[in-house]
Amino acid sequence: MLTSATPPRKVFDTIQILRGLAALIVVLFHLSLGNERRGQQPLIGGLFQNGFAGVDLFFVISGFVIMHTSHRYFGTPDYFATYIRKRLIRIYPIYWITFVVIVGGLLLVEFVTKKSVGFLPTSWDLIVSAFLLLPNHPNINGVTWSLSFELYYYLLFGLLILSRQLWLLIAIVLTLSGVATLNPNVFTPYPLLTFFFSPYNLEFASGVLIWWLIHQYKFSTPICFLLLLISGVWLLVNKGTLFEEPAKRTILYGLSSFLLVLSFTGLERNGWFQPSGLNRLLMKIGDASYLIYIFHFPFLPFYGRLLNAVPNTLGQHIAALLFTVVLIVVCIDLHSRFEAPLVKKLNLLFKPVSPKPDNG
């Protein structure tokens, strides 16, 4: 049953856990895809063939998190610059590091082999587009298309910080996104409109809705498990959706992600997620999820070499396990030693200096 909510906790551990799981699902999707492209068996009987749905889960989580951390600043335009600064620092520095490494590596390969690798932007405008993660930028790192949407979500949400009256503009965007979901080809001739009114916007909005529901109602444990069951069934029944179909993905994986996040946060409020060794590990993976997500793709060629060195299906699964474990360990260490301190230092560095009071 539903009852009126008591004030929820400041931090939701389940959100971090789901972040980590979403990142790992995407990693395993790419590993399984690598197997298939080499004519080998997909991982665990094709369990992760639709693991791209981890991105849909990320979008729902992003809506929840941005609402949870920034709703109190609605109608506070003085906070807008701080809000944008924090969001940009969260995304760009780590991305730029991978950008430089990937571009440098590809240029080195071209120099050594005297052959074009085909992945590099061919003009300055494309380079700038990729560097700034502009809409429809060239994906030098194959997962960064989703970061463009994240930045767009941050900007849309920031409108409410500038003025509560701008909710109407957001409502128009979501309405047109709904139109694009029901009629996927409506904006196809216009790439920018396809981006701005993407069905993915509804996934972000659904995360905001979860935050509101959790604040308004307390979901009983049976209801939470029922939502979790429906999420799983809906996911299994519709697992044939293709990566390139945002409208269907939103209806199928977006809805499943919505139910999953709602059930997990509801269960946490009911005391089902207590501190434990496993939960702490999963939260560490969640803390490092951005690194896992953005770092794994450039290193997939190393996984390919592992696959070439193993003779059978068992060896392929061991190679995938080894790649994933090493990735997790390295990214957790990099998060604690490098990413978190870097983000903290950059926020301090670019924090506006408050004017000193005039005592004269």
Residue 360 domain-assigned? no
Where residue 337 falls among pLDDT bands split at 50, 70, 90? very high
Higher-confidence residue of 233 and 96: namely 96
Burial (CB < 10 A; 0-12, 13-18, 19+), residue 80, is middle
**Tokens, residue 47:** 């369990």
Tokens 């950008």 belong to residue? 99
Residue 315 domain-assigned? yes
Residue 161 domain-assigned? yes
Tokens 């396809």 belong to residue? 194
Does 356 score more than 70 pLDDT?
no
Q: Write down the pLDDT at residue 246.
A: 84
Does 239 score more than 80 pLDDT?
no
Residue 356 domain-assigned? no
Residue 162 amino acid letter: L
Each residue's pLDDT tens digit, 161-200: 999 999 999 999 999 999 999 998 999 999 999 999 999 9
Q: Which residues contact 42 (CB under 8 A, 6 or more apart)?
A: 32, 33, 35, 36, 48, 49
Phi, psi angle pair for 352, to nearest 5°: -60, 140
Helix axes 255-269, 200-216, angle to 10 degrees: 20
Does 6 score more than 70 pLDDT?
no
Q: Write down the pLDDT at residue 293.
A: 96
Domains held by the chain: number: 1
Does 358 score more than 50 pLDDT?
no
CB 204 within 8 A of CB 255: no
Where residue 43 falls among pLDDT bands split at 50, 70, 90? confident
According to DSSP, residue 107 is labeled H
Residue 355 domain-assigned? no
Q: Which residues contact 241 (CB under 8 A, 6 or more apart)?
A: 50, 248, 249, 252, 253
Each residue's pLDDT tens digit, 195-227: 999 999 999 999 999 999 999 998 999 999 999
What is the arithmetic mean of pLDDT over 302-319?
83
Does 305 score more than 60 pLDDT?
yes
**Tokens, residue 103:** 């571009």
| Cα separation, 42 vs 242, whole angstroms | 16
Higher-confidence residue of 200 and 110: namely 200
Tokens 């592992």 belong to residue? 306
Does 251 score more than 80 pLDDT?
yes
Residue 245 domain-assigned? yes
Each residue's pLDDT tens digit, 63-87: 999 999 999 999 999 999 999 999 9
| Cα separation, 209 vs 5, whole angstroms | 15
Domain of 237 in residue numbering reads as: 2-349
Each residue's pLDDT tens digit, 21-34: 999 999 999 998 88
| Cα separation, 80 vs 189, whole angstroms | 34
CB 60 within 8 A of CB 207: yes
Residue 156 domain-assigned? yes
Share of the chain above pLDDT 70, in %: 92
Residue 354 domain-assigned? no
